[in-house]
Amino acid sequence: MLAALLLAVALAVYVPASQAAHQSRPLRESATGSKKHHHHHPRVLRVGSWKGIKGQFRSIQAAVDAARPGDWILVGPGDYHERADHRKKAARRGPQPSHTPAAVIIAKPRIHLRGMNRRKVVVDGTKPGSPRCSSNQKNQDLGPKDSNGDRLGRNGILVWKSNRVSVDNLSACNFLSGSGSTGNEIWWNGGDGGGKINLHNFEGRYLTATSTFYGDGTNAASYGIFSSDASGGSWSHMYASNMSDSNYYVGACQQVCNQVVDHVWSEYSSQGYSGTNAGGKVVIKHSEFDNNQSGFTAGALNNDDWPSPQEGACPGGNTSPITHTYSFWVFMDNYVHDNNNPNVLGVGIAAVAPVGTGLLLYGGRDDTVMHNRFSNNGAWAVVFLTYPDTETPPDDVIAAGDDCRGGVNAGPPSNACVYDDWGNAVLYNTFHNNGWFKQMASPTGNNSSNADIGEITSTSGPTNCYHYDVEQGGGTVTTSPAGLEQSKPVCDRHTVPANGNLVMTNDVICDSQAFAGLAPGVNSTPCQPGSYYPRKTTVVMHPVPRHLASMPNPCKGVPANPWCPRRDKD
């Protein structure tokens, strides 16, 4: 159990929340349409200018405030320093909690926010008048103050409990964390921490989320593209980088997430993706995760991203049309490579994600990893771990006596809620040059568990399974414990005994430096002399690639208007 508790320190993942409001005066013309209405044709509200034609509004929030459900908001090129969270009157701050301020708040259903050019339409978290996405400390905006006088931080675009809202074809940068639930660049929020799904059928396409500033790490961008307490999402053609926690986050959506993540690219963060208590239909496909500390992580937590656990089985005992099995959570057709980067932002527990890991499922159940390429991940390409969480869910959950849902309470002294990994499948994947950290260790070092695949289980339970995986160029897929492809090839969830895999547990703790700085004189033991895992030297903030595609036709689907003279069919 000690090894499991050590692992808890190593791999916990913190998750935040976000929102707030802003407005500026219109330019000349007001939005058309009667104030009194029950049904109306969608209007197009235009912000800034496009091809020499001025819109009705100078700010995005002003257009959002004027919009009615069903309307479109088109945004021309510009650097938009939106400041809904800096409104003077508290009554105008927005419908969301005060601890989640945001630059732009959308709290109306069926709003379609779309930039006319992905690279040139920027929602910028720095102070007004600053250069675009400035890295200069004096230009950073840390948001309004909380009741103690501390800065709350800021979120970028917040969609608050509003169904069928789309955000497309723009960039967001430099929205930084503070004392509040902040630091998220774009967030679909169904009521973070509430344990209920209050946002449905959302969409994001051709989005970029990044940051150029981190300071001492206290005020840093936390998450790029974020959804919580939401169901029915579609994300595609996105890029995110330079986050202190993760570039993409899907969580707190139980077994009804129904979310597809397609053609996204994730770089230069502690975690390329993180997902908490996200189950049922979740499909991550055709995407690339590289140059992160850990490429992709998902699993169960017992905190305010309740309800736990992470359960990828098809609800109602149905069969997935993708896997043709019990598993509805699928990671497929992705390229996961070179996630060996310690020189990234890392704040809080996310900073101890194990360097050199491609995909990590902690306490994850009934998930499928299929038809992917895993290359050049120095520690492990795919890892399944037991997760003993010492966090607690919301007070009302504890009062109802459900304070370790889906897990096993370890009892005193830790009272950890232990989530085991089971029923997962690793199928038809291609591996190449993973686990090479162990070749860098001295003969007296550890690192012996570094491999293509690693597994730790703490209880007797439904088997994980592995078959039809191949090593590119020939050879045998390497695993810890050895021979997983041979000993666990059958995906029928039959019961197998636990394997604590103490050697790998010690390697994970050494890799993550879980104990470093916890107390005077405590370091990253149990590293053996001669062990090799890359350590942070200096944080490097990387620019956004120049070749990211903009939406081919930003007028597609938009009602006819001066910027889009005719309506192009969907």
* One-letter amino acid for residue 432 of the chain: H
Spatial contact of 106 and 120, defined as CB atoms under 8 Å apart: no
The pLDDT, as a whole number, for residue 29 is 35
Mean pLDDT for 49-57 is 98
Q: Are 341 and 462 found together in one domain?
A: yes
Nearest Cα neighbor of 48 from 39, 37, 61, 36 is 61
Question: Partners of 387 in the beta sheet?
Answer: 419
The three-state secondary structure class of 68 is coil
Assess whether 232 and 300 both reside in one domain. no
For residue 274, being part of any structural domain is answered with no
383 and 517 inside one domain: yes
Q: What number is the average pLDDT over the span 245-272?
A: 97
CB 239 within 8 A of CB 213: no
Residue 289 tokens, joined: 């995760």
Let me know if residue 7 belongs to a domain. Answer: yes
* Element spanning 471, H or E: strand 470-471
- Residue-wise pLDDT for 304-348, tens only, equals 888 899 999 999 989 999 999 999 999 999 999 999 999 999 887
Question: Are both 117 and 208 inside the same structural domain?
Answer: yes
Tokens 């897990």 label which residue?
407
Residue 285 resides in a domain? no
Structure tokens at 245: 């926690």
Distance CA 265, CA 429 (A): 19
Q: Range of 335's domain?
A: 1-16+295-539
Other beta carbons less than 10 A from residue 386's beta carbon: 26
- Asked if residue 562 and residue 415 are part of one domain, the reply reads no
How many domains does the structure of the chain reveal?
A: 2
Mean pLDDT of 263-270: 98
Q: Where are the alpha helices (DSSP H) in 476-530?
A: 484-487, 502-512
Taking the C-alpha atoms of residue 239 and residue 206, their distance in angstroms, rounded to an integer, is 8
pLDDT score at 27? 38
Higher pLDDT, 93 or 65: 65
Q: Is residue 117 part of a domain?
A: yes
Chain centroid to CA 493: how far? Answer: 29
79 and 168 in a single domain? The answer is yes
Helix boundaries (H) for 382-492 = 395-399, 437-440, 484-487
88 and 3 assigned to the same domain: no
Rounded to whole angstroms, the Cα distance separating 335 from 374 reads 6
Q: Residue 66: enclosing H or E segment and its boundaries?
A: helix 60-66
Instruction: Tell me if 86 is assigned to some domain.
Output: yes
Q: Distance of CA 113 to CAs 17, 154, 554, 555, Å?
A: 21, 20, 11, 12
Give the separation between CA 458 and CA 411, rounded to whole angstroms: 15
Kindly list the distances between the CA atom of residue 79 and the CA atoms of 82, 118, 166, 273, 427, in Å, as whole numbers in the listed order: 9, 12, 20, 27, 45
Q: Is the pLDDT of residue 507 over 90?
A: yes
Residue 273's beta-bridge partner residues? 248
- pLDDT tens, residue by residue, 456-472: 999 999 999 999 999 99
Between 44 and 524, the more confident residue is 44
Inside any domain, residue 287:
no
pLDDT band (50, 70, 90) for residue 98: confident
Asked if 471 and 503 sit in the same domain, the reply is yes
Residue 265 resides in a domain: no
439 in Cβ contact with 446 (< 8 Å): no
Q: Tell which phi-psi region holds residue 397, choosing left (phi > 0), alpha (psi between -120 and 50) or beta.
A: alpha
- Write the CA distances from 178 to 183, 210, 540, integer angstroms: 7, 17, 21
Name every residue whose Cβ is closer than 8 Å to that of residue 48 and which is 6 or more positions away in sequence: 54, 55, 57, 58, 75, 76, 77, 78, 80
Neighbours of 155 (CB within 10 A): 38
Rounded CA separation 136/130 (Å): 9
Say if residue 507 is in the same domain as residue 549.
no
Decide if pLDDT at 482 tops 70: yes
Q: How confident is the model at residue 97 (pLDDT cuts 50, 70, 90)?
A: confident
Mean pLDDT (whole number) for 348-365:
91
The predicted structure's pLDDT at residue 303: 87
Is residue 205 located within the same domain as residue 337?
Answer: no
| Mean pLDDT of the chain, nearest integer | 89
- Whether 289 maps to a domain, the answer reads no
pLDDT at site 525: 57
Q: What is the mean pLDDT of residues 439-454?
A: 88
Looking at mean pLDDT, say which of 212-221, 327-336, 346-355, 388-397 comes out highest. Answer: 327-336
92 has a pLDDT exceeding 70? no
- Say how far apart CA 132 and CA 174 lie, in whole Å: 10
3-class DSSP assignment, residue 455 = strand
Regarding whether 149 and 51 lie in a shared domain, the answer is yes
Residue 34 confidence class, pLDDT cut points 50, 70, 90 = very low
Are 223 and 316 contained in the same domain? no
